[in-house]
């Protein structure tokens, strides 16, 4: 049942050789790829975090209840009653 999943040692060595040769060929490119991927992910996250907050800035501060605004105006000496 599981015999098709078992890899023979020759296939394993061949796979290891191919991976190591690819790593040797593309080794100078790997840091560049990681840095480009990092820049892309950071830019995408910052775009989401910054611009989504700026779009909803009307919801940053709620309006104070009427009693609280009257009390604050009285404390600051700016309460005007008609």
Terminal Cα distance for the chain, rounded: 91
| Distance between CA atoms of residues 49 and 41, nearest Å | 12
pLDDT (average), residues 25-36: 73
Which of the four pLDDT bands, split at 50, 70 and 90, describes residue 57?
low
| Distance between CA atoms of residues 14 and 58, nearest Å | 61
pLDDT reported for residue 40:
76
pLDDT reported for residue 3:
56
CA distance readout (Å), 61 to 16, 20, 37 = 60, 58, 37
Which of the four pLDDT bands, split at 50, 70 and 90, describes residue 8?
low
Q: Could you please report the per-residue DSSP string of 43-66?
A: HHHHHHHHHHHHHTGGGSSPPPPH
Q: Are 67 and 75 in contact (CB under 8 A)?
A: no
């Amino acid at each position: 049942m599981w015999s098709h999943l078992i890899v023979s040692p020759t296939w394993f060595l061949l796979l290891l050789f191919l991976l190591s040769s690819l790593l040797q060929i593309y080794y100078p490119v790997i840091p560049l790829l990681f840095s480009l991927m990092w820049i892309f992910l950071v830019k995408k996250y910052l775009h989401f975090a910054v611009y989504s907050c700026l779009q909803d800035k009307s919801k940053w501060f709620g309006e104070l209840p009427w009693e609280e605004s009257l009390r604050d105006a009285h404390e600051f000496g700016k309460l005007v009653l008609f």
